[in-house]
Amino acid sequence: MEQFKQSDLPVKMPNAAPTPVGTTLRNGFTTPSGKFEFYSNVVARYEKSHGLSPLPVYIPSFADDPSPEFAREYPFFLSAGCRIPNMLHSRLHEVPWSRAIRPEPMVEIHPDDARRLDIHDGDLVEVHSPSGSVTVKAMLTRRIHTGTVEVAHGYTEANISQVVSDQHQNPYTGFPGYKASRCNIRKV
């Protein structure tokens, strides 16, 4: 540990080794059957008590509020899990050379959506949902599909996680779905 603390560069781990190829096939999977399971015997124990399916099922991203009214009020799909090259979550956002890649938080929006909202490249906009809002600059790009916007996470001055509901969770793991949400945008 002391060697890690004192080094500015990565430290090689003498005992680190990759898992040999074929280990899982040779030793089996960590499931009750020891096999890859499409039908999960573990989840089957909770099928009746928790309403979970032991078979893979599709659950819409926004099943927590599928109403047409909500979709009209918040017409955009927000992707908040994207990363900027050379950034590691929020840890490297304060390093000057990596922050220079994208100095300010931005919402990427398709030019057709921006035109409809009278938003221009560099305009200050608010990305909002019932859970919260952030103010960021608009970046028009055809890399994003219409109806979708993207905000990179990790900026302390524009914490995009505030826009995503803490009630939106994976029913199987309880893991929060903080990488996606419905939202709307307005010029500030």
Over residues 70-84, the pLDDT tens digits come to 889 999 999 987 777
pLDDT tens-digit readout, 126-175: 999 998 999 999 999 999 999 999 998 888 899 888 898 877 777 888 87
pLDDT > 60? residue 30: yes
Q: Which parts of the chain are beta strand (E)?
A: 76-79, 106-109, 124-129, 132-140, 148-151, 180-187
**pLDDT greater than 60 at residue 104:** yes
SS3 content of the chain, % helix, strand, coil (to 5): 20, 20, 60
Say how far apart CA 77 and CA 185 lie, in whole Å.
Answer: 11
**Would you say 181 and 168 are in contact if contact means Cβ atoms under 8 Å apart?**
yes
Cβ proximity of 156 and 102 under 8 Å: no
pLDDT of residue 139: 97
pTM (two decimals) = 0.73
Amino acid 27: pLDDT? 85
Q: Residue 121: what pLDDT?
A: 97
pLDDT at 53 over 80: yes
Triad 79, 81, 87: Cα angle to 5°: 135
Mean pLDDT, the chain, whole residue set: 86
pLDDT of residue 111: 98
Q: pLDDT band for position 34 (50/70/90)?
A: confident
**What one-letter code names the amino acid at 68?**
P
List 76's β-bridge partners, or say none: 183
